[in-house]
Chain A
């Protein structure tokens, strides 16, 4: 029984026209169950690529990714979909809510795909939206939309919660609120949370920090005593 997530010598290449771009170059790391992880790095370092591979939205060129002792690198489309469906929750920079569905319905959508989701109402309540459940996304502020998006991800009760620059489109105050919400979720439910960001200020709040540069892991730090998000100095 190894770590929950094992990245082993993962290489990812994109073909841009005739030129091949190596987004990831022999990346290896491990993440334990229940950890709150921050992947740090400047634009183009390959952070999002790591997240996309972890989430089963993309396939590797070389190497293997082992999640809960299962190698997902050989998965076909259907298996990857099933993996996304059952094990992964996503939070995006631009929320990606369905504009035609209300906040409640956006979360309830999960019931269509997952066998044992959490209760929709209480999940929404836990992100502080019990009073705005029946609004449509466009009627909500950016922070509120992101909270709906978190509720949607958490409601699945996933093994993995993946967040791609979740505060990128928000002001810092709202950003802190969102991040502390994520941290709280992680602590309370024991979710494994991976956040991709270029904001180094978040590092002290994480259990583990993976720093990336030019497609490689430049540094891995385990943080034995993470601080609470609210105490982070922005």
Chain B
């Protein structure tokens, strides 16, 4: 019988119940949706790495012999090893793309994943080609590809198209922001396809340790064992593709954890108030039930079940809908950057907990609301709760009070009388303001990186990357023909305060291609002696100006000790920067890896030794494409913030309206025009909205800061919100709030004076 009562009560109070229902759905949906996205990517990439036996260490050198392999295998914790030749080769394809060719001794580690054609077999003739590269070049299985490798031109039949766990993020090196399948790809070639007479210099040993954790220990063993016989030893976190994927997952995780929590908090607060009011309105019925002889426990259970059912239904729908709706939207962008065999949303126990939380939230709010009413004796509960008294406030003692007029007096007292309702209204506004500001601000911040990086700091027009074996004559020719600045960029390791980090060394020749600024955005000059260190790297290492640190170029043995003379802030490329002069001071010469051209540079005839040219527009475009995946997520968040804002505000609005219907009817009878009453309510709404917005601004900034702090060590973003964005967020919040207020105040016209004033219930 009580179940029937519950269903009817829900029908009568459907606005409130529907809004609680929506909030339960939304809060669980956003949480599980965002969660399932990154968790799915993590599960899949872990599975992919495990199945295809991605190494935990890569040792790069010149030519490793079977004896070298034996020595590696002799080490503790090493599970498997494999020799591989990896070399960049040219093809006869138009646009001269670079193809990274891999020849393996045996297919045991870092196995390719075939998506089309034959299974990869080292004993079969032919080439297995990167499928994105094949797509971009218009190649199919069965086509013949001509490659130029080791002074040898050979024709290879494409046997299959592949993906590879080392090329999830398919870029040539760190300097490339985005995969460019039209200019870079990879391929696996079977040993059989090459003349047996050709000696193969296996320049890599792939090592799988027993667990990823062991890789550091094994790495230092290798460094000791192979001193002078390696150029670099990479662990998974140093590997470009692996690191990019991990970064992406971490970023999504950070956003996916912060937003749902705010969502949950707001929804929980709103559910609490709604339920409290709902049950307060059932006061007399609780009295009746009590008088009829129902036990306290039974009544309590009855009302708690309202919340439990709604929470459970909403939570379960959210749990199912979240992973179905949100990940596919985000995956469309991710798919254009990352190459994984499968894309799916994955649920984790956390998602189940969120449903439990939603149920508990609803249940608990009912429980507390109901217990309050139950403490009264039935006789008292049968009578309606007396209206809450107005009180004189401290404000009235001030001289202003009498001059304030009825409108303000009424509003101030009304706000103070129903503090909870007023606070909730303000909190609802704060919540949507926070979410909006955070979402829009994040967009500003992220796109600010591109304008800071390529607008303020990197002032050159194009970047001409040089071949490693460029001749002195070719360098001279470029220096004469291209106005610009030499730059050397090398991968280094930095050690300080017991920490060791990989970073970038930038050595700059004479010129003005790059501007350096400190954290207060003042231009700084690089010192003629000592080094400049990037701000973020200094933070990570715990280093101040004037401290010393040790560093070395990867592949070289010599550790160099330098004093930090300058700190500069840069969004990307954390590490050490120094002038050619300071570099000379260390007894070294600048070996240019690129020339920064001050004017747009078109490939000219007669210049040799150029690897590729990147115009700044390309760099900016690449960067912006990368940001689109963030934009998508931001769009989802904005949408959710708007829905949440409307639901919370409408819900609270309905509550406060029904609570005050008698007062409003009185005003109507006294001859107040509807528009006057509306303006009265509007004023209160505006005050509370302003308060909510004021609180939401620091909230939004705080959350952006938090999200940025979880970003990877190589990226240094500064929270930046443009005035336009701030104004836009305030406007949207106002429109939401005013819109809800408008919808509600239309009801004033329909208040039936006769029945509202007749008697108390």
Using a CB–CB distance below 8 Å, which chain A residues touch chain B? 48, 52, 55, 57-58, 77-78, 81-82, 84-86, 88, 90, 92-94, 96-102, 105, 108-114, 134, 136-139, 152
Contacts and interface: CB of A to CB of B under 8 A. Distances in A.
B389 A136 contact: yes
B123 interface: no
A136 B409 CA distance: 13
B403 to A, nearest CB: 13
Given A78-B673, A94-B757, A138-B389, A105 B406 contact: yes
A109 B754 contact: no
B674 A77 contact: yes
A70 to B, nearest CB: 16
A231 to B, nearest CB: 31
B406 A82 contact: no
B390 A102 contact: yes
B387 A99 contact: yes
A101 B410 contact: yes
Given A84-B671, A97-B666, 14 more contacts: A77-B749, A81-B674, A85-B673, A86-B671, A90-B669, A93-B759, A96-B665, A96-B669, A98-B410, A101-B409, A109-B670, A112-B672, A137-B389, A138-B389
Q: How large is the interface on B (under 10, 10 to 19, 20 to 34, 35 or more residues)?
A: 20 to 34
A81 B671 contact: yes
A52 B669 CA distance: 10
Contact of A113 (B417, B662, B663, B671): B671
B386 interface: yes
A113 B410 contact: no
Contacts of A81: 668, 671-674
Interface of B: 386-392, 405-407, 409-410, 413-414, 417, 662-663, 665-674, 676, 749, 753-754, 757, 759-760
Contacts of B749: 77
Interface centre among B671, B673, B760 (most CB of A within 10 A): B671
A98 B674 CA distance: 17
Nearest to B391: A136
Helix, strand, loop or mixed for chain B's interface? helix
A134 B674 CA distance: 28
The 8 closest A-B pairs by CB, nearest first: A85-B671, A100-B413, A100-B390, A138-B389, A84-B671, A136-B390, A96-B666, A57-B753
Contacts of A109: 406, 670
Contacts of B413: 100-101
A217 B673 CA distance: 33
A196 to B, nearest CB: 12
B669 A105 contact: no
A99 B390 contact: yes
A96 B757 contact: yes
A57 B759 contact: no
Contact of B757 (A82, A92, A111, A137): A92
A58 B665 CA distance: 13
A111 B671 CA distance: 11
22 contacts: A57-B669, A57-B753, A57-B754, A77-B674, A82-B671, A82-B673, A86-B671, A88-B671, A90-B669, A96-B669, A96-B757, A97-B666, A98-B667, A101-B406, A105-B406, A113-B672, A134-B392, A136-B390, A136-B391, A137-B389, A137-B390, A152-B670
B671 to A, nearest CB: 3
A78 B407 CA distance: 21
B458 to A, nearest CB: 62
Contacts of A105: 406, 409
A20 B410 CA distance: 40
Contacts of B666: 96-98
A110 B670 contact: yes
Contacts of A52: 753-754
A10 to B, nearest CB: 16
A100 B391 CA distance: 7
B759 to A, nearest CB: 6
Given A78-B673, A81-B672, A105-B409, A98 B663 contact: yes
Contacts of A78: 673
Interface centre among A57, A88, A114, A137 (most CB of B within 10 A): A57
Given A81-B674, A100-B414, A100-B417, A58 B759 contact: no
A77 B674 CA distance: 9
A81 B759 CA distance: 22
A55 B410 contact: no
Contacts of B405: 112
B674 A138 contact: no
A102 B413 CA distance: 10
Contacts of B388: 99
A114 B672 CA distance: 10
Given A57-B754, A94-B759, A94-B760, A101 B390 contact: yes
Nearest to A158: B671
Contacts of B665: 96
Interface centre among A78, A88, A92, A112 (most CB of B within 10 A): A112
A71 B406 CA distance: 33
Contacts of A82: 671, 673
A154 to B, nearest CB: 13
Given A52-B754, A100-B413, A112-B406, A85 B387 contact: no
A99 B670 contact: no
Given A92-B757, A96-B757, A100-B414, A138 B386 contact: yes
A4 B67 CA distance: 121
Contacts of B671: 81-82, 84-86, 88, 113-114
A113 B386 contact: no
B714 to A, nearest CB: 59
A93 to B, nearest CB: 7
Nearest to A97: B666
Contacts of B662: 96
A84 B753 CA distance: 12
B406 A55 contact: no
Contacts of A101: 390, 406, 409-410, 413
